[in-house]
């Protein structure tokens, strides 16, 4: 089996863990670790490789590992669920335009892949103005709670999961792994207050190219972009005018101390198998990250497929 065949098989194996068959274009877009390959090369190998044909099948335009045809039905059903959740997510995020210091909101996780389950929440990555990350987080948390859409406790279905914040001058994700590369390659920017911020995010995270062949191929989700509202903009800018001086600095300091104290006392912050980061540049709340088990299953799949050398992926530095 040549390198391209191995790479295609590795990509299908990764998404098999997520119960998701892929089209030829998606294999090209999320191809694992091989360079200078064109889409036509991948389609040719998928159609003509005798080695791959022993290990994969194709049906209705989807490619998947042998004996895993059942995930086609799973993908179609999850796409339907995702379509409904997208409508709800956009209605909520549209209201975020009134919140001061918010600069971009992107959908991440399973919804960004259209691979979500009925009871799943809606994961967001939020970019804030530098120096106002704590204020922005506090206001978004309160706002989401007041409108009854914040995930907390056992309330998860269609709720907003506010698990990741970056500032506009600290866009690089420092935690590198195949899991994070695949996750952030699916990110969809739906609310962009500051022009070209998502492109800057992509440029700041070119390390993803160490794991995937083609990042970024294209920006997804143009049809899902939320049109900026002039009335909401006026409200947001007025609030920023009030909170962007000495008063704002004091509020940022107080909110930082309050939130840091609460995060530091939470047992989940130190839970094995996850990661919680809280600094002036990044706030990440993944105490129950799926990264570890996804990579473990992927590594096991690769060994079962006879590609042990590709089954040694490590997590991005989760708590042991």
Q: pLDDT digits over 10-55, tens only?
A: 999 999 999 999 999 999 999 998 888 899 999 999 999 999 999 9
What pLDDT score was predicted for residue 202?
Answer: 94
Predicted pLDDT at 154: 86
How far is 69 from 21, CA to CA, in rounded Å? 8
Q: Strand pairing of 188-192 and 160-167?
A: unpaired
Of all residues in the chain, the percent with pLDDT exceeding 90 is 89
CA-angle at 151, arms to 14 and 181, nearest 5°: 25
Instruction: Provide mean pLDDT across the span 112-134.
Output: 96
Per-residue confidence (pLDDT) for residue 56, from 0 to 100: 96
* Cβ atoms within 10 Å of 123's Cβ, excluding its own: 23
The structure tokens listed for 20 are 């998701």
Q: What does pTM read for this prediction?
A: 0.94
Closest CA to 136 of 244, 226, 265: 244
Residue 223 pLDDT > 80 = no
Residue (of 277, 284, 282, 231) closest to 128 by Cα position:
282
Q: Is the pLDDT of residue 137 over 90?
A: yes
Residue with tokens 């060994």, as numbered in its chain: 303
pLDDT above 90 for 297: yes
Is the pLDDT reported for residue 219 higher than 70? no
β-pairing verdict for 56-59 and 188-192 = unpaired
* Residue 153: per-residue pLDDT: 83
Read off the tokens for 131: 């120096």
pLDDT (tens digit per residue) in 258-268: 999 999 999 99
Q: Which residues are CB-neighbours of 320 under 8 A, at least 6 positions away?
A: 272
Say how far apart CA 170 and CA 223 lie, in whole Å. Answer: 27
**What 3-state DSSP class applies to 167?**
strand
Go through the domains of the chain in sequence order and give each one's CATH number. 3-68+292-310 (1.10.10), 76-289 (no CATH)
157-208 per-position pLDDT tens digit: 999 999 999 999 999 999 999 999 999 999 999 999 998 999 999 999 999 9
At residue 73, the pLDDT reads 96
User: What is the overall mean pLDDT for the chain?
Assistant: 94
Distance between first and last Cα of the chain: 36
State the pLDDT at residue 213.
Answer: 87
């Amino acid at each position: 089996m040549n390198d391209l065949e191995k790479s295609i098989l590795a990509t299908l194996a990764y998404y098999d863990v997520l119960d998701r068959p892929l089209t030829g274009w998606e294999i090209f877009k999320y191809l694992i670790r091989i360079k200078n390959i064109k889409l036509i090369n991948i389609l040719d190998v998928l159609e003509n490789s005798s080695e791959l044909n022993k290990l994969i099948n194709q049906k209705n335009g989807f490619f998947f590992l042998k004996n895993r045809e059942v995930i086609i039905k799973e993908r179609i059903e999850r796409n339907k669920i995702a379509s409904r959740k997208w409508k709800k997510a956009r209605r909520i995020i549209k209201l975020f335009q009134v919140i001061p210091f918010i600069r971009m909101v992107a959908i991440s996780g399973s919804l960004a892949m259209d691979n979500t389950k009925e009871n799943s929440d809606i994961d967001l990555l939020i970019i804030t103005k530098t120096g106002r990350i704590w204020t922005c987080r506090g206001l978004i948390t309160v706002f989401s709670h007041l409108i009854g859409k914040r995930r907390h406790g056992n309330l998860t279905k269609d709720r907003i999961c506010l698990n990741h914040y970056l500032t506009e001058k600290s866009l690089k994700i420092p935690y590198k792994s195949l899991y994070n590369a695949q996750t952030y390659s699916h990110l969809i920017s739906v609310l962009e207050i500051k022009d070209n911020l998502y492109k800057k995010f992509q440029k700041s995270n070119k390390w993803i190219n160490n794991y995937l062949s083609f990042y970024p191929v294209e920006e997804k989700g143009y049809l899902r972009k939320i049109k900026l509202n002039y009335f909401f903009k006026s409200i947001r800018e007025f609030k920023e005018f009030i909170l962007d001086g000495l008063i704002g600095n004091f509020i940022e300091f107080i909110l930082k101390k309050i939130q840091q104290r609460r995060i530091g006392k939470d047992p989940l912050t130190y839970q094995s198998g996850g990661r919680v980061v809280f600094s002036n540049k990044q706030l990440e709340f993944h105490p129950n990250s799926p990264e570890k088990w996804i990579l473990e299953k992927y590594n096991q799949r690769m060994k079962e497929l006879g590609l042990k050398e590709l089954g040694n992926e490590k997590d991005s530095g989760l708590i042991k």
